[in-house]
Amino acid sequence: MSVTESTKDPEVVHRLKNYICIISGFCELLISDCAGDDPRRADLMEIHKAAQHAIAMMPEVAERIRREV
Amino acid sequence: MTSSKGPLVLVVDDEPPIRQMERRILEKAGYRTMEASGGEEAIAMLSAINPDLLIADLDMPGLAGEEMVRRIHVVRPHLKVLYVTAHIDRLLDAQSIVGDGEAFLDKPFTAAGLIEAVTLLLTGSISATPQTIANGRTR
């Protein structure tokens, strides 16, 4: 395996990023459709916050998976 | 708000939810959108439509994003392209293919990030709106 290949994100990371992108993106769309006093807005904000945390964790997750692969 | 006069963006991605999400975000911002599930379909569509910008997933099965854009640029050399990829490491590999009127967006991206990238590519400014772009087309 070359140095370049060893630093590439594994396919599972690629798929994870796609899923998080879908969760976060549709969540943003739903939030933008919610009125300020809509009770569902707080729930959606929690989902969005969790997605943002997951995004922030991706480099560490990728690095751990890369080491195992 | 969907504008019937906004710039047309062709979204090419093999993942249906990603295509739908990108289209809804852009249509809310006033852009018109169409979609293709792969490179071959996108190339076929371009015989009938004239988009202002192409959003190209780099990591598609079959005809990959770079090759699709290379073929499209043979006949549409000025078509602007926003590459999206979940492989941040591929940005380095693919830098040599990025030319004028092209940019990258890393997945996961935000709605605001997508709109900014598209608007910047089309106008050079993030403050422009799809309506002002449509009214002041230079091509």
List, in order of start, the domains of chain B with CATH numbers.
Answer: 8-132 (3.40.50.2300)
What was the pLDDT predicted at B138? Answer: 39
List the single residue in B with minimal CA-CA distance to A22: B18
DSSP string, B17-76: HHHHHHHHHHHHTT-EEEEESSHHHHHHHTTT---SEEEEESS-SSS-HHHHHHHHHHH-
The most distant pair of C-alpha atoms in chain B lies apart, rounded to whole Å, by: 38
Contacts of B104 (CB under 8 A, 6+ apart): B82, B83, B84, B85, B91, B94, B98
Which SS3 state, helix, strand or coil, does residue B138 take?
A: coil
Which SS3 state, helix, strand or coil, does residue B12 take?
A: strand
Q: What is the ipTM of this complex?
A: 0.79
Mutation choice for B interface testing from A1, A5, A17, A32 by most B CBs within 10 A: A17
Peptide bond between residue B108 and the one before it cis (omega within 30 degrees of 0):
yes
Look over chain B and give the mean of its residue pLDDT values, rounded to a whole number: 86
Contacts of B1 (CB under 8 A, 6+ apart): B28, B30
Average pLDDT over residues A7-34: 88
What was the pLDDT predicted at B136? Answer: 60
Task: Look up the pTM and report it.
Answer: 0.84
Residue A34 structure tokens: 């919610």
> Within its chain, how far is the Cα of B48 from the centroid?
17
List the single residue in A with minimal CA-CA distance to B89: A8
The model's confidence at residue A2, banded by pLDDT at 50, 70 and 90, is: very low
Residues of B in contact with A6 (CB under 8 A): none
Asked if the Cβ–Cβ distance from B110 to A24 is below 8 Å, we say yes
Dump pLDDT digits (tens) for B15-67: 999 999 999 999 999 999 999 999 999 999 999 999 999 999 988 888 888 88
Residues of A in contact with B22 (CB under 8 A): 25
Asked if the Cβ–Cβ distance from A32 to B107 is below 8 Å, we say no
A31, A45 Cβ separation under 8 angstroms: yes
The model's confidence at residue B91, banded by pLDDT at 50, 70 and 90, is: low
Q: Which of B21, B93, B109 sits opposite A26 (nearest CB)?
A: B21
Which SS3 state, helix, strand or coil, does residue A54 take?
A: helix
